[in-house]
């Protein structure tokens, strides 16, 4: 069964510090997809990034970057020069593709609450 572990329950940083959110996953499939979502205090879930299992290139989007390493089954998320608006709960998620049934399930980690202190 697939599993996503976000070991950091809560993190606090001072504004402008860099912070890395860890995500470790388990899957039996060779084809899978990884996601990060952000949940700000207002409660909605915002999609940040998608990565498939065949693409280990790291990605950077502004102050956000993601490090995908299949060898360690990790998909870590780094925020550079953090800002107060980055304060949110961040979820890592994994989806597998079940062959034959044509369906898939998205499994979320328990989330990491990031607080950026001004």
Partner 1 sequence: EAQVTQNPRYLITVTGKKLTVTCSQNMNHEYMSWYRQDPGLGLRQIYYSMNVEVTDKGDVPEGYKVSRKEKRNFPLILESPSPNQTSLYFCASSLSPGQSPGNQPQHFGDGTRLSIL
**Residues in contact with partner 1 by the rule CB under 8 A:** 9, 31-33, 35, 37, 43-45, 47, 50, 52, 91, 95-97, 102-111
Q: Which is nearer to partner 1, 61 or 103 (CB)?
A: 103
The count of other CB atoms within 10 Å of the CB of residue 15 is: 13
Helix (H, G, I), strand (E, B) or coil at 70: helix
Tell me how far, at minimum, the Cβ of 50 lies from partner 1, in Å: 5
Q: Which is nearer to partner 1, 15 or 26 (CB)?
A: 26
Tell me how far, at minimum, the Cβ of 92 lies from partner 1, in Å: 9
Tell me how far, at minimum, the Cβ of 25 lies from partner 1, in Å: 13
């Amino acid at each position: 069964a697939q599993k996503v572990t976000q070991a950091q329950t809560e993190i606090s940083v001072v504004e402008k510090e860099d912070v890395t959110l860890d995500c470790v996953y388990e899957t039996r499939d060779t084809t899978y997809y990884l996601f990060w979502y952000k949940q700000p205090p207002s409660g909605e879930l915002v999609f940040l990034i998608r990565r498939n299992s065949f693409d280990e290139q790291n990605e950077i989007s502004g102050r956000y970057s993601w490090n995908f390493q299949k060898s360690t089954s990790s998909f870590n998320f780094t925020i550079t020069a953090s800002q107060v608006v980055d304060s949110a709960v961040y979820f890592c998620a994994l989806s597998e593709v079940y062959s034959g049934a044509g369906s898939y399930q998205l499994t979320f980690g328990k989330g990491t609450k990031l607080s950026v202190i001004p």
